[in-house]
Amino acid sequence: MDLANGSPRKPAPSPKPPAPAPAPAAAAPPKTVQPKRASGPQDFLFEIADEGANYYKASDASAQLFAGLYSDGRIRLADSDGRRFAGALIGGHADLLELERNDWSEVYLRVTPTGRMQLELRGGPYAGRVLTCEPLQE
């Protein structure tokens, strides 16, 4: 209290801290590099690391696909025109999704009386085809 005039004394204002320096402009995040899409049909099959997988070339007189059968039941098919199919085999049957076009088809895995494996395709670009499988040389 200021005794001379009988009024309370106001405390002196405290100095304000200096304003923080502006943060340096954030650098633009580095551009993420998108992995290149598998260039060939076999590259698509080998994207999945699976030591128990079996790879085949499946063909008839006018069509050829490459097939990967994986130990967890997945199946992948690919052709030279860039079509890629993926599904899961259950009891020798799989619904296949054509990845680029988002179209569905089916594949049935069967073994002939002579022991050769075949893929019977229903729907999609290979509808009605029965392709005989030969092991793919890695």
Confidence band for 42, pLDDT divided at 50, 70 and 90: confident
The pLDDT score that the predictor gives to residue 5 is: 56
- Report in angstroms the alpha-carbon separations of 76 from 1, 20, 43, 86: 89, 58, 11, 4
The DSSP secondary-structure symbol of 4 reads T
Q: How far apart are CA 93 and CA 107, in angstroms?
A: 6
Predicted confidence (pLDDT) per residue in 99-137, tens digit: 999 999 999 999 999 999 999 999 999 999 999 999 987
Report the alpha-carbon angle 126-127-129, nearest 5: 70
Domain residue limits, the chain: 41-135
Query: How far lies 94's CA from each of 34, 42, 46, 81, 115, in Å?
Result: 30, 20, 19, 22, 21
All residues at 6 or more sequence positions from 104 whose CB lies less than 8 Å from its CB, including other chains: 95, 96, 97, 98, 123, 124
pLDDT at 32: 39
Contacts of residue 118, defined as CB under 8 A and 6 or more positions apart, other chains included, come to: 58, 109, 110, 111, 112, 130, 131, 132, 133
Q: Whole-model pTM?
A: 0.69
Grade residue 76 by pLDDT with cuts at 50, 70 and 90.
Answer: very high
